[in-house]
Structure 1
């Protein structure tokens, strides 16, 4: 089995999702440490396609939300920027529709244990709070009160929504799972759980696939 399906014509449109709400109405629900950005950036570099972080398209300065139609237009423009495909990080179906889901050739679900990624969230949040790491979207800073004393705190959001969105991921896997999904026409979804070993192996397989295609070309 090849590490990516593609469209059969050398184009790869990959949707990377994680275990919390990138489409949440809460700004602090937008940033999660399940590894989507790291994996998405690496995968886009290997495939030579644009990396699209939906967080950065959706959030305007000051955590202002982009209206539905405008957000859809931004997504459309991002997906159309290269005829070689794309890698999209995030799931904003409630805010921008199912455009990415409907057009992707591959879906990657990152499902690490909460014990693994919660410390990542804490460290990243502290780094953003003190300005040593770039904000999720331009001019959308963390604040001390929102991190520690708000019901929309990313830390609380992670703990309270992990199982809800993991349940949603399982439902998608039952429908789109690459081995036995109920949607026989679109068995495009892979799950990577555990502590990251299988994900690293898969990325190495993608690298080998790309190298093999380049030799043939």
Structure 2
């Protein structure tokens, strides 16, 4: 594993935390897509700017890229050798999103674009709830196509805290 995409079913799945921990274990730099997509005060990067930043990352020999962003999946997937997908229940994801907001009110998280103070609003909650089940289906198709394009590529699906911990205890530590 040298070029890893960490994706998740939803906000709150634990992508950022997982990617940071994985980066430390493997000694590979981690890139959080939110930090490239969001400019200060929650202004979106242009499509070209965001795609260019993704391309610069994937041109490197090793990386862990955390985030879903389907608009740049076509840049990341061909270079990735592994996708790690976190599929936690919707209730856990929502709980974590609210907890993250409460913990970080008035602060910018390290995995977020500079000047983007933590916020939680109705449109974001609605987005999480209304896209959760559709995203699960789309991801399965995406992962099948990823492996069909090159059977040597790996997709690792982790569905809960115990599976995530077991992955670090058994898979990563044994390498």
**TM-score higher than 0.5 here?**
yes
CA contact under 8 A between 2:12 and 2:92: conserved in structure 1? no
Aligned to 1:201: 166
The structure whose residues are more often helix, as a share, is 2
Aligned to 2:114: 138
The alpha-carbon deviation at position 138 of structure 1 amounts to: 1.4
The alignment partner of 1:16 has SS state of: strand
Whole-angstrom CA distance in 1 between matches of 2:51 and 2:108: 28
The alignment partner of 2:77 has SS state of: helix
Q: How does 1:29-44 map to 2 (within 5 A)?
A: 32-44=11-23
Q: Structure 1 residue 111 and structure 2 residue 87: aligned?
A: yes
2:142 aligned to which of 136, 158, 172 = 172
Whole-angstrom CA distance in 1 between matches of 2:53 and 2:128: 27
Q: Structure 1 residue 89 and structure 2 residue 43: aligned?
A: no
Structure 2, unaligned stretches of length 5 or more?
none
Once superposed, what is the RMSD of the aligned Cα atoms?
2.2
Structure 1, unaligned stretches of length 5 or more?
1-5, 7-11, 21-31, 210-217
In structure 2, the CA distance between the partners of 1:132 and 1:58, relative to structure 1 (3 Å rule), is closer
The alignment partner of 1:52 has SS state of: strand
Q: TM-score, normalised by structure 2?
A: 0.86
Deviations 1:116-143, CA, capped at 9 Å, x for gaps: 2211111112233x32663732111245
